[in-house]
Each structure stands twice: as C-alpha cells, then as structure tokens.
C-alpha cells in the first residue's frame, strides 16, 4: 500500500500555512540497489519517490499515483522493457505528457530522440537533468 503525506509549510510572507505537496518521481529499474539509490538521492532533494521493478508494475501503479512530475526509466528490464512501457504509457491520454528520461548503461539501446542518461552519471548531472526535465 502506498501512502502519501501532506506537509504544511509557512508562506514566505504573511505567515499563514500553505499546503506543500512533494513532486513525485516514478523510478522504474529492475536493479533493487539502483532503485533504492535513486530513491535516497531524490528524496533528499525533496521529491516523493515511487519505485517499480519493471514496466508492467509501473503501468499498473500509474492510475493510482498522484500524477508524477516525471519518470526515470531503465531501458532493459524483464517482463516489460522501458521502451514497451513508454509506448503503453503514451497510448493513455491522461499519462501521455508525463516527462520521461531513459536511464541505461548502454545509451545506444535507448529510443532515439528521447532524453537519456547513462547509469554512470555524476550526482550533479543526475539532479540537473531531473530538475530540468521534471
């Protein structure tokens, strides 16, 4: 069961509380260590992170999630690959415009024309790419 909390922060001027809802990133990767590392990094940056181990699980999660601001998507996974997930997600109008960045150890396997990061990326580049795309 996934749960989300609503955090309240004080407005900069006026002092009245305003709701703050974290931006959600869906991380889809079959490697548990990679998923957990990305979760830790993104959570430290203020994102709410949801994890999935393959595209089929991610596709099933999307309708129940607070709309993610973006998806970090591994290319090669069992059950449903990143490109298969991407095509299926784009076929659903309510999800078609969610930004996606492909995350892969072999960029030549990523779909042409789409944002791609190599898994050996520096922390600064990862966070810069996420901030720019999402």
Structural contact between residues 23 and 47, judged by C-beta atoms closer than 8 angstroms: yes
Residue 19 is predicted with a pLDDT of: 52
DSSP assignments along 11-77, one per residue: -TTT--EEEE-PPEEEEE-S-HHHHHHHHHHHHHTT-EEEEESSHHHHHHHGGGSPPPSEEEEESS-
pLDDT digits (tens, 9 = 90+) for 17-45: 545 556 899 999 999 999 999 999 999 99
Residue 41 is predicted with a pLDDT of: 92
Q: What is the mean pLDDT of residues 69-75?
A: 95
Q: What structural domains and CATH numbers belong to the chain?
A: 22-133 (3.40.50.2300)
């Amino acid at each position: 069961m996934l749960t989300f909390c609503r955090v309240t922060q004080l407005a900069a001027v006026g002092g009245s509380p305003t709701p703050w809802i974290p931006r959600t990133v869906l991380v889809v990767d079959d490697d548990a260590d990679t998923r957990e590392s990305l979760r830790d990094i993104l959570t430290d940056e203020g994102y709410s992170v949801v994890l999935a181990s393959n595209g089929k699980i991610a596709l099933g999660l999307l309708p129940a999630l607070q709309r993610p601001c973006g998806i970090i998507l591994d290319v090669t996974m069992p059950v449903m690959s990143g490109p298969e997930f991407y095509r299926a997600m784009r076929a659903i109008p309510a999800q078609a415009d969610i930004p996606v960045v492909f995350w892969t150890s072999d960029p030549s396997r990523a779909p042409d024309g789409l944002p791609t990061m190599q898994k050996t990326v520096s922390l600064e580049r990862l966070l810069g790419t996420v901030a720019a795309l999402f």
